[in-house]
Each structure stands twice: as C-alpha cells, then as structure tokens.
Amino acid sequence: MKAILKSALFLLFVAALLPACRSSQKMIESGNYDAAIDFCIQKLRGKKNKKNDYVKGLEMAFQKANARDVANIDRLKLQNREENWTQIHDMYTGIERRQKKIRPLLPLRSKSGYTARFTFIDVSREENESREQAAAFLYAKAEALLERGKRGEKLAARDAYYTLRDIEKKYYNTYREKDRLMREARNWGTSFVLFEVKNQSGKILPTHLNDRLGAVADPSLNEEWKEFIFEAENNVDYDYFATLRFRDIDVSPERVHERSYVDEKRIQDGWEYEYDSKGNVKKDSLGNDIKNPKFVIIRAEVLEVFQSKAARVGATLDIVDGATRKRLDSSDMSTEVLFENYASTFRGDKRALSEESKQRIGNRPLPFPTDADMILQAADRLKPQLRDALRRSNAIF
C-alpha cells in the first residue's frame, strides 16, 4: 500500500513538473528567449536543489538571445543607415540587461551536477558609441522637424518635442541645446486660443461680464498643446479665436403680485353629550355618560406678496481660424435666472394655516436684483456650458 502511495505521489510530482519544463522549451522554440530566461530564473532563484531542465533551459535561452541580437546588430550596421542606431542601442542595452540577470546566479550548477556555461560580452564601448549615434540622429531629426514647425506645421513641432524628450529619457539628460529646442518646440507646437466676448444683443452688458466669463480659464481647460488666452496682447498672432457672441438678452420687468386667500381647517374643540328624547344624557353599557368630540371650523386670512423677475441669455460660441478667419465650429447655449420671493402675513386663527402658508408667513419683501446682477448670474451659469463646448470642439488641435 505504501509503495502504491509513493508511486502515485511521484506521478503527481512529475505531472506538475512537465508543464513547466514544456513551457520554457516552447518559449525557446518560438523565439521568446527573454521570456524563457525570466521564467527559468524565477524557478531557479533561491532554490538549493536546482532542476537540470531549468539550468539547461536558461543556458540555451541566453546563448540564443545573445546570438540573435549580435547578428541583428551586425545586419543593421551593414545597412549604414543613421536611423538604425536607436535599434542598435536598444539591442546593446538588452544584452547588458540580460547579462546582469544571469550574474547573480553564477556559478550555476544543477542538482545532478551539470554546470551551465555562459559567454558574456563586454558591450560597454559599443553601448556608449550607439548611445551617442542614436542621440545625434534624434537631435538632427528634431532640428528638421522644428524647422517645419516654424513654418506653420504644428504637428511637426510637437514631434520635435517628443523626439527631444526621447533623448532625455533614453540617452542623455543634458545634450547639446536640447532644452532650448524643447522650449521652442513647445511654443511652436502649442495652439494659442484667444477668448473674446462680443455683444450682438442690442443690450448694454455689465462691465464685469468679461471678468466673470474669464473665470472659465481654470487649469483643467488648458491641455498639453492647447492654451487659452483671456486678455489680448498687441502684435500677437493667435492660432484660433473662441468668440462668445451674445445674441439674446431679455430681462423681464419687476413684477409684484398680491393676493389674499383663506385657509380653513376643521378641528376638535372639546366634547358634547348625547341626549335621549327626554333630554337626559345617554349612558353606555357600563353606566358612563356618552359624549362625542365637538368640531368647529377655524379660518385664517392670508395676504401674500409674490415678487418675480427673470433674465434669459442666449449666446453662440464660434471657433475661428486665426490665419484665415474662417469659422470652424459653432455651438449655441442659453440659460435663465429666476428671482422669486414670497412674503405673507395673516390674521385669524394660526392653527388654520396650511403647511405651505406657514413656510411663507414672516418672510419680508426683498429688494429686486438689478438687471446687471441678473445678467452676471446668467453668465455664471453659462460657464459650464462654455467650458464643455471649448473642451469638446475638434476644431482646435
């Protein structure tokens, strides 16, 4: 019985081991050498009894990966094309990164006594050379792109910026005049949008309206290559104009409506006895006097003053090309502001008041807001619509 149990456990162990061995072998056979290396290192790291298959698998994957990269580097160098240096540098750094993974495991010997052999390549000189060549290629590419950007190709200026940023991220933090060129690329690649307000309503706009609408310029409105300007500067050519045209402004008269009404309520007001035909108080089965609740109608006369005033504002946001003055996009928006106030007094029985009347009793008439104040409130309510329209517009890129 014990022999059978041991055999079963051994078979389970082998069954669990086979998929792992097969998976590393499949990676190697399919050319995924670095994936096979990472897999084998994971299985070997920290293990005292290292499995033979993982040791040999790591050895084979490492040899094939380095041989493949060296062959590709030689092929790319023979092509003698400047743009190949970025790939060449990536391969040299890949070789060095791969070798650094292996070194902590050395010497690598399996539990069966097999010792893996790894041939390391000193690529430090080649890595430095390829780094310089790749950076020089990207720098020249960025300079050419930036020249196109200065002639009006914003996308080229943006590509120049990203190319220079690649130099910073992958090759050199400080390199030639990279920082100055990045600032220029940022400037030439950014779309500058001047926000304007125009009054075409025939009504006089409040003096602070532009300031209120200018508050739409929160940091979230600007994007990486899009910047909104809310104060025009002389002798500046803007890429786009975002013009908010007020078409309709309507402020109603101040209205005061008075009305009086009566609230009534039937309430219990004491008790009254029930009498028989002879005028005697009736008794219940226990001999107690029979009495019934007494109800009365109470009233309260309410005098209500209702104040109201409304302002309606309609506007159109136009996106205009700064060079051609051609309209590229247009969005309509509108909003309404209401001023309402109830002030009520009453006379009579307070208990008769409805819940609605109770809420208004004691309120006083308020000063009406000015036309300018209501238009400014409407402008505040337009800001979310305006912000959304500016963000959604595909005309600005």
Show the beta-strand stretches assigned E in 181-282: 191-199, 226-229, 240-251, 255-273
Q: 181: buried, middle or exposed (CB in 10 Å: 19+, 13-18, 0-12)?
A: buried
Residues 140-151: what's their mean pLDDT? 97
Residues 92-107: what's their mean pLDDT? 96
pTM listed for this prediction: 0.73
pLDDT tens for 355-386 read 999 988 988 899 999 999 999 898 888 888 98
Q: Which of 161, 232, 151 is nearest to 192 (CA)?
A: 232
- Regarding whether 389 and 245 lie in a shared domain, the answer is yes
- Regarding whether 234 and 95 lie in a shared domain, the answer is no
- Regarding whether 214 and 78 lie in a shared domain, the answer is no
Domain boundary among 62, 90, 121: 121
Asked whether residue 207 is domain-assigned, the answer is yes
Question: For position 269, which CATH number holds?
Answer: 3.30.160
User: Which residue blocks in 256-307 are alpha helix, DSSP H?
Assistant: none
- Regarding whether 183 and 51 lie in a shared domain, the answer is no
- Regarding whether 306 and 283 lie in a shared domain, the answer is yes
Q: Is residue 95 within 8 Å of 72, Cβ to Cβ?
A: no
Asked whether residue 198 is domain-assigned, the answer is yes
- Regarding whether 388 and 298 lie in a shared domain, the answer is yes
Q: Running DSSP on this structure, what letter comes out for residue 23?
A: H
pLDDT tens for 46-66 read 888 899 999 999 999 999 999
Domain range spanning residue 297? 190-397
- Regarding whether 277 and 202 lie in a shared domain, the answer is yes
Asked whether residue 381 is domain-assigned, the answer is yes
Domain boundary among 101, 121, 141: 121
Four-residue CA torsion sign, 59, 61, 63, 65: negative
Torsion of CA 254, 260, 261, 267, to 10 degrees: 120
- Regarding whether 209 and 354 lie in a shared domain, the answer is yes
Residue whose token pair is 């979230």: 220
**Chain mean pLDDT for the chain:** 89
- Regarding whether 115 and 166 lie in a shared domain, the answer is no
229 DSSP β-pair partners? 194
Q: What pLDDT score was predicted for residue 270?
A: 85
Residues 71-99: what's their mean pLDDT? 97
pLDDT tens for 240-261 read 999 999 999 999 999 999 999 9
pLDDT tens for 204-238 read 888 777 777 766 655 667 888 999 888 888 888 89
- Regarding whether 241 and 141 lie in a shared domain, the answer is no
pLDDT tens for 305-355 read 999 999 999 999 999 999 999 999 999 999 999 999 999 999 999 999 999
Q: Which of 138, 221, 207, 125 is nearest to 172 (CA)?
A: 138
- Regarding whether 384 and 271 lie in a shared domain, the answer is yes
Domain boundary among 156, 189, 222: 189
* Domain count of the fold of the chain: 3
- Regarding whether 273 and 388 lie in a shared domain, the answer is yes
